[in-house]
Chains A and B, each alone.
Chain A
Amino acid sequence: MNKNPLSLQFKADDFLPASEEEKQGLVVMRDSVSFWRDSFRRLVKNKVAMVSLFVIVVIMFFSFVVPAFYPYSYEQQQKGAENLRPMTYSQAEQERIAAGEKVTPHFLGTDKLGRDYAVRIMVGSRISLTVGLVAAVIILVIGALYGSVAAFFGGWVDIVMMRIVDIIYTIPDVLLIVLISIALKVPLNTLGDRPGFGWVGTVGPNLVSIFIVFALLYWVGMARIVRSQVLVLRESEYVTAAKALGAGNGRIIRKHLLTNCIGTLIVTTTLQIPSSIFTESYLSFLGLGVAAPLPSLGSLASTAINGMNTYPYLLIAPALLISLIILSFNLFGDGLRDAFDPKLKK
């Protein structure tokens, strides 16, 4: 039917319900991107951070998984295999090879007590990583709670709590770490003998004392950062709303304040790991860290210094590994910071 263009006659087709396809075409917005997905996308794009994450995962695999399957153990002394160069075999092992047996080579040689150095390095980096990770968690828990409580309650609570932080901040930390780790050695040893505290003995009293030191001293940085965040957040409307709905203080801190500075928490915790590893290796190097025969990268380097004329690889291997671990964690932490808070990027 020929229709007059000026006619006001209705066209029935225009009033049919829209098909699914048409509806889809009209949606301008794409799916809303969550905070996590957005940060994750930025993180994955950051090549440096991804490479360092890969390095961290590889090192973790070698230090936590591989020693369990490794043919040598870190404390096993082999007679006649002392001071072997990398990839060489002792007399006994050569005979076994000649007899058709398969012998795992000493990739990094052995030390002066005939212990396979490669597995000692792996266990050493396991100690370093454990110290870094556990210390970071301790610092995260204490620092986040302390900082948020101080900021949330404000007033004189804040003043007193922050003065304490100031004082701990000015205490020369290494002096105290050295002292505390020495002072706690014996009490922890006796504690380890009591029933129920056997884990102290297995973890090693020195390691526990290092954790205690971190718990006592190193949370102040975290507390300050969290406090400054919470000071801003507690003025926001959703906190007022939560209060109006009758939420308790603990709930507001946990559910609203801490969850909203989660980005800062993650970044600060990640960057705390390398600095804890740093401190542990420093203590071990001075001979105040983990107890023998348990190796740590710092103590391995420290013992290797005396023989570095003849056995330089014993020194170079742990030295390079510890630098690599700290570097990867630093770079990964930087990547996380850029991902969570792109405003900070310089």
Chain B
Amino acid sequence: MAKYICKRLFMAVLTVFLVATLTFFLMNAVPGGPYEAEKSISPQAKAALEAKFGLDQPLFQQYLTYMKNILRGDFGPSLKQRGRNVIDIILTKFPVSAKIGIISVMVSLLVGVPVGCVAAVNRGKISDSAIIVIATVGIAVPSFVVCSLSMYFFGVKLRWLPTVGLTSWKNYVMPVFSLSFYPTTYIVRLMRSSMLDVLGQDYMRTAKAKGVPGAVSLFKHALRNAVLPVVTYLGPMMAYTLTGSFIIEKVFTIPGLGGEFVSSITNRDYMMIMGTTIFLATLMVTINFLVDIVYKFIDPRINLK
């Protein structure tokens, strides 16, 4: 167990390091720089700014300095938003994204798991077919389609829900719906097939034979085993909600981290790009790591090596 955790931890750190290195050299490989686009700036001022942020030094030197600072927890100042630190920006923007993300993950689990079970238990009936059709179509619809269409119908046409801002709970309905749409349909399919698998197992027949009531056998025997694949999907799902929020934030004009990331790339705010990339990569890798460890704990049949 300890060996496995160490190995995974090493892989996680290595991944974040590789992503950071790759990002650093990729963004510096592009001709131009953060101050090229600003026409108002004089060459002297530009040189002064570059000297201030150490951009005039050799690339490898910059890389070493940056990595050293990162290890000390210093993400540096933003090159474009004067006087603000990258870490401050991340810490103010991320909670907004995280709130929507966490609500979406909860919604997809709370809807996806029961619906998938209902479909599996009613296999072959109309309710099952209806759920399959909806889930199959749902997987094919990109998130930007869901959010733009729901914005059009509920926000613009019917005027039920507000389209911008984040002031009341009503503002959360559409972003959460759009963000959780794909994971929900995916979980429904996953849950249905794994539930069907479990329902055909010998221990289910044994439970029935020894007189365990239907509901008990369903919840205690079937559900606990069937929900395992969903746990493995948690990691990819978190990654999806994190990156999916780029689009949601653009459409619903939510001041979150996703929008900040995209705009920092187009603005060439090197410090911001590095900061957000490292932050998001660490987050995703950590979630994946935790999910894997938890999975090994809740399913004792999996051997650790």
Check if A157 is an interface residue, CB within 8 A of chain B.
no
Check if B250 is an interface residue, CB within 8 A of chain A.
yes
B247 touching A282, Cβ below 8 Å? yes
B27 touching A179, Cβ below 8 Å? yes
A315 touching B137, Cβ below 8 Å? no
Check if B66 is an interface residue, CB within 8 A of chain A.
no
A171 touching B15, Cβ below 8 Å? yes
Q: Contacts A170-B11, A186-B31, A331-B136 known; A176 to B19 CB distance under 8 Å?
A: yes
B23 touching A179, Cβ below 8 Å? yes
Check if B188 is an interface residue, CB within 8 A of chain A.
no
- Chain A 152-188: CB-based contact to B (< 8 A → 1; otherwise 0): 0000000000000011001110111011101101110
Check if B273 is an interface residue, CB within 8 A of chain A.
yes
Query: Cβ of B243: which chain A residues have Cβ within 8 Å of it?
Result: 172, 174-175
Q: In the complex, how many angstroms separate the beta carbon of B254 from the nearest chain A beta carbon?
A: 14
B196 touching A346, Cβ below 8 Å? yes
Q: In the complex, how many angstroms separate the beta carbon of A345 from the nearest chain B beta carbon?
A: 11
Of A194-202, A225-233, A316-324, the one with at least 4 CB within 8 A of chain B? A316-324
What's the Cα separation between A24 and B26 when bound, in Å? 71
Check if A262 is an interface residue, CB within 8 A of chain B.
no
What's the Cα separation between A141 and B145 when bound, in Å? 31
What's the Cα separation between A278 and B145 when bound, in Å? 11
A167 touching B11, Cβ below 8 Å? yes
Interface core residue of B12, B31, B152, B157 (most chain A CB under 10 Å):
B152
Q: In the complex, how many angstroms separate the beta carbon of B156 from the nearest chain A beta carbon?
A: 6
Q: Contacts A178-B265, A182-B266, A331-B136 known; A167 to B144 CB distance under 8 Å?
A: no
Check if B54 is an interface residue, CB within 8 A of chain A.
no
Check if B121 is an interface residue, CB within 8 A of chain A.
no
A171 touching B19, Cβ below 8 Å? yes
Helix, strand, loop or mixed for chain B's interface? helix
Query: Cβ of A269: which chain B residues have Cβ within 8 Å of it?
Result: none
- Number of interface residues, chain B, beta carbon within 8 A: 49
B145 touching A322, Cβ below 8 Å? yes
Q: Contacts A286-B247, A319-B145 known; A171 to B18 CB distance under 8 Å?
A: yes
Query: Cβ of B277: which chain A residues have Cβ within 8 Å of it?
Result: 175, 179
- Out of B140, B141, B151, which one reaches A308, CB within 8 Å? B151
Helix, strand, loop or mixed for chain A's interface? helix
Of B40-48, B57-65, B100-108, B278-286, the one with at least 4 CB within 8 A of chain A? B278-286
Q: In the complex, how many angstroms separate the beta carbon of B263 from the nearest chain A beta carbon?
A: 10
Query: Cβ of A288: which chain B residues have Cβ within 8 Å of it?
Result: 262
B142 touching A286, Cβ below 8 Å? no
B26 touching A174, Cβ below 8 Å? no
B11 touching A315, Cβ below 8 Å? no
B232-283 with Cβ < 8 A to chain A = 239, 242-243, 246-247, 250-251, 261-262, 265-266, 273, 277, 280-281
Check if A281 is an interface residue, CB within 8 A of chain B.
yes
What's the Cα separation between A176 and B30 when bound, in Å? 15
Q: In the complex, how many angstroms separate the beta carbon of B273 from the nearest chain A beta carbon?
A: 7
Some 19 contacts from A to B, beta carbons below 8 A apart, are: A167-B14, A170-B11, A170-B288, A172-B19, A178-B262, A178-B265, A282-B143, A285-B144, A286-B250, A286-B262, A287-B262, A298-B142, A302-B144, A312-B152, A315-B148, A319-B148, A322-B145, A323-B142, A346-B193
Name A's B-contacting residues (CB within 8 A).
Answer: 166-167, 170-172, 174-176, 178-180, 182-183, 185-187, 274, 278, 281-282, 285-288, 298, 301-302, 304-305, 308-309, 312, 315-316, 319-320, 322-324, 326-327, 330-331, 346
